[in-house]
Amino acid sequence: MRSSGILLHITSLPSPYGIGTLGRQAYEFVDFLKKAGQRYWQILPLGPTGFGDSPYQCYSAFAGNPLLIDLPSLVSAGLIERDDPDLTVMAERKFADNAQLFTFKKLILQKAYASFRRSGRKDALHEFDDFCEENASWLDDYALFMTLKTAHAQMMWTMWDEPYRLHDEKALREFSEAHSDEILSWKFMQYLFFDQYSRLKDYANRKGILIYGDMPIYVSADSSDIWAAPQMFMVDKDRHPVKVAGCPPDVFSPTGQLWGNPLYDWDKMTADGYKWWVERVRAASKLFDLTRIDHFRGFESFYAIPAENDTAEEGEWLPGPGKALFDRIKAELGGVELVAEDLGFLTPEVHQMLHECGYPGMNVTEFAFGGDDSGYLPHNYVRNSVVYIGTHDNDTAAGWYDSCDKAAKKRICNYLGIKRSSSPEKVTKHLIRMAMASPSDLCILQMQDILGLGTSARMNIPSTVGNGNWAWRMEKMPDKKTAKRLKKLTKTYFR
């Protein structure tokens, strides 16, 4: 069925506390989607972010980001005081400064935990205990991991004292006993996150809005996942990566992209029936109505770079699990709704695997105007696909067009049927119309493009840290005029 939606990460919502949250503004955005005739709200990964603030480099593949917890809800619940000085410090920040924000938010959330324990409400305490028990498979490791990180001044776990780094049972048991209350406070943050998120998702679903989530293929080197189960990754006996992930050099990146994520040991994952991946997809299917798997081509074969290298120029392609992994997922979980991020260097084998799996792939029109009859040009799209003008890793449509050379601008305007003197804002409107009119079953538009914003609103520049990455926020909710315009366009193209 033809449909459309908007890509806007939760952190980009307006908020008086420095970062978008699961609070009132999230509900207002759901209402906007409904008024605008949209069906999907696409968000980025929800995990707790580490260095660089990237939601694709999280401390856990299963945990939620405590920064997204709505604080006014905790005030209403009586867990924190309305005049708490740490709330004042966090207020009225324009951009998401995760490191500073978390310093204050952690203090506030720990106060909320203390209030929760003092409240003596048996029903809430039982609910918390049930949450901990139901999620123990990942929550116990995550809470202990985060407590150990605090004890080690936030150092990466590969730099911890050896007994903790190598998971010595006696040392971990003694540490857990000495820090039991702090460990519980980390679990409580997850309890709050999942409670607030589930309420928001239920509200969205009742309004007819589906949540379209995102799952990175790899996990962060500094994560509880690798610390707790190093046998599933390409690491040596001291737990240091042997080979890491990235992309080989191309015309866009002469030295390639060195992501640095430890790679999976697919032989061991295959031997145990891909249990870790099955549980990861199971968790995502509870969070999202539709899940995009990032870097899908890495399941067919992946680029492995020696961990000691400074660039991605030297590496080798190694075989991935292929369709067998997804056969197992389907056997265990049934028809989980997935989208394959099939961008980048693709081979006939990757195309064949995607065809056999049956998942929709992606089209990005910003990749389409190099001069040839590109597969990214809308007249070449197949129905079983998702069309984007650009994703979170691309410039906004206006910024992208503004940066194109004269030849590319000529091709773009000729294709759109508009004057070559058209402004970036006008080109953006025609690109939106073109995406909506395309054959792809699902059209996803970045909120920045709907608002006609330029490069300053870009979400991320791949393979860089800083540069304002992940910090963009919408200053206010889009108005009724924007909703009406988008709804009319959606109806015009039967989405």
Both structure tokens of 399: 């910024």
Q: Positive or negative, the Cα torsion across 439, 445, 450, 453?
A: negative
For the sheet containing 40-42, what is the strand order? 338-340, 290-293, 210-215, 40-42, 3-7, 442-446, 385-388, 361-364
Question: Catalytic site residues?
Answer: 294, 341, 393
82 neighbors 72 (Cβ within 8 angstroms)? no
CA-CA distance, 15 to 428, in Å (whole number)? 27
Residue 58 DSSP SS3? strand
Collapsing DSSP to helix, strand or coil, 305 comes out as strand
What are residue 316's DSSP bridge partners?
A: 304
CA 213, 462, 444, 193 torsion: positive or negative? positive
Location of structure tokens 């903790």 = 164
Do residues 441 and 382 make contact, with C-beta atoms less than 8 angstroms apart? no
Q: Answer whether 70's CB lies under 8 Å from 83's CB.
A: no
Q: Half-sphere exposure of residue 271, counting CA atoms within 13 Å on the CB side?
A: 7
User: Quick one: tokens of 386?
Assistant: 């998702």
- Torsion angle in degrees (nearest 10) through CA of 216, 63, 477, 424: -20
Name the H helices within 441-479.
Answer: 447-450
CA–CA separation, 348 and 293 (whole Å): 19
Q: How far apart are CA 115 and CA 316, in angstroms?
A: 53
Phi, psi (degrees; rounded to nearest 5) at 286: -80, -30
